Amino acid sequence: MRYVGVVPDEEWRALLRAHLDRADEFRVRMPDGEGPLSYGRAQFAALPEVTVGPWSGMRDAVEFAGPLTPAVRELFVELEPSLEELPKLWDYKLLQNGKVILSIGDFHDVLIDVPS
């Protein structure tokens, strides 16, 4: 994984779409309640085929996980137009065949898998 950091919005949107095209699964983590860290909660909870369970990375937090369907891809594009502007998702991972290929932490700490 390689740290990317904050990139301009146009570059971010291209990077996100490229990883959404490769990924087949997602995990979104947030506190189990309302607030800015829980942005997107209602949208992910409403998706079919999504499981919700406790997340061990933070007390009183949940993880939404499921397959990266076309509806989920569009939701990520809608919720993540910028790395710098809030509101946005706080913590998530995109996976391909069980391997993390894009990781976002603390709103904009970006790690990406660099194919060899």
- Let me know if 48 is exposed, middle or buried by CB neighbors in 10 A (0-12, 13-18, 19+): exposed
On whether the CB atoms of residues 83 and 108 are closer than 8 A, the answer is: yes
Sheet holding 109-112, edge to edge: 2-3, 109-112, 99-105, 91-96, 25-31, 61-67, 51-54
Q: So what's the pLDDT on residue 46? A: 95
Q: How far apart are CA 93 and CA 28, in angstroms?
A: 7
Is the model's pLDDT at 114 over the cut of 80? no
Q: How confident is the model at residue 116 (pLDDT cuts 50, 70, 90)?
A: low
Q: What angle do CA 10, 70, 54 make, to 5 degrees?
A: 95
Structure tokens at 29: 């983590």
Is the model's pLDDT at 55 over the cut of 80? yes
Give pLDDT tens digits for 7-53: 899 999 999 999 999 999 999 999 988 888 899 999 999 999 999 99
Q: Where are the domains of the chain?
A: 2-112
Structure tokens at 98: 């069980």
Q: So what's the pLDDT on residue 33? A: 85
